[in-house]
Amino acid sequence: MGVLWYTEWLSPLEAHVHGIKEVIFDGWTKYQRVTIAKTGSFGKVLFLDGYAQSSEYDEFIYHESLVHPAMITHPTPRKVLIVGGGEGATLREVLKHDTVEHVVMVDIDQELVELAKKYLPEWHKGAFDDPRVELLFMDGKEYIEKTREKFDVVILDLTDPIKDTPGVLLYTREFYEAVKKILNKEGVMVTQATSTRYYINAFTIIGNTLREVFPYVRLYKVFVPAFYSEWGFAIGTISRDPLSIPQEEVKRRLKAMDLKYLDPEAYAFLFHIPRYMLEKMKKYTQVSTLENPLELAPWNHQT
């Protein structure tokens, strides 16, 4: 039997070809193509619309980096909103904080979540069954614009703002203003902010846009091997700069959790943006709005 190869296009001129040992699931939900497969290099991998969403080998790097800087920036996060994050790993990391009393997770794709429950236990580790969790299947933007709830932390684990997809609307100034309205007085939000290698423009523009809304904004990144890139994130806060947190507090709160990647040294390095990247970022001054949104060109072709 020959090897099955799965091509993931990282740019118009670059691709990563995965050797597939076993296809666990391949099909379409109402919203996207879902492939779950055992690969030669990264173990089990979740692909969405042809892109590696997360891998068994290194998903914890992405999810710990997305969740914990925002959770630690808030002094005592009790109520948390997650938008997206269908694998359940973002939820898993949020629940590691012993101050958390209630988590609302909103994902538009119920079929994906059901597939994750069945095929990705290494990701969610039973988090969906935690009594603190309220799971809603609806459009995250609609939820944020209509809810009367208030949250300490909002985590946006979203798809990229690809042109002609609903994700474009979730990176605009108007959307971030809606997020700010549902935050408590010490509220913190964090969003994934795309690849700093392939989309340095988007990474920068997301930061520009957040600065139109929040008093404190910090961009940061972490290298994720399965993405062949450092991956970007952006925090917006109402009252506390993430870099003003005492080092002893960071150490204490990280130590209280069972983490695989983040320690105080790795945590501090997240926020170091190297000089060459800062120089590139100077070229991009756009603020993403409904009238002039950040839109990334699609180039992926699944084979």
Q: What burial letters (b/e) apply to 135-163, b meaning 16+ CB within 10 Å?
A: bbeebbbebbeebeeebbbbbbbbbbbbe
Dist. CA 145–CA 161, nearest whole Å: 19
Amino acid at 78: R
- Asked if residue 27 belongs to a known ligand binding site, the reply is no
One-character DSSP codes across 210-261: HHTT-SEEEEEEEEEGGGTEEEEEEEEESS--GGGS-HHHHHHHHHTS--SS
Decide: 134 and 104 in contact? Cβ < 8 Å.
yes
- Asked if residue 130 belongs to a known ligand binding site, the reply is no
- Asked if residue 85 belongs to a known ligand binding site, the reply is no
- Asked if residue 140 belongs to a known ligand binding site, the reply is yes
Residue 301, CA atoms < 13 Å, CB-side half-sphere: 4
- Asked if residue 166 belongs to a known ligand binding site, the reply is yes
Active site residue 157: yes
Catalytic residue among 58, 109, 152, 157: 157
- Asked if residue 139 belongs to a known ligand binding site, the reply is yes
Residue 187, CA atoms < 13 Å, CB-side half-sphere: 23
Token pair 């509220």: residue: 187
Amino acid at 299: W
Dist. CA 282–CA 77, nearest whole Å: 34
Binding residues for S-methyl-5'-thioadenosine: 32, 107, 139-140, 166
Which residues are known catalytic residues?
157
Binding residues for spermidine: 63, 87
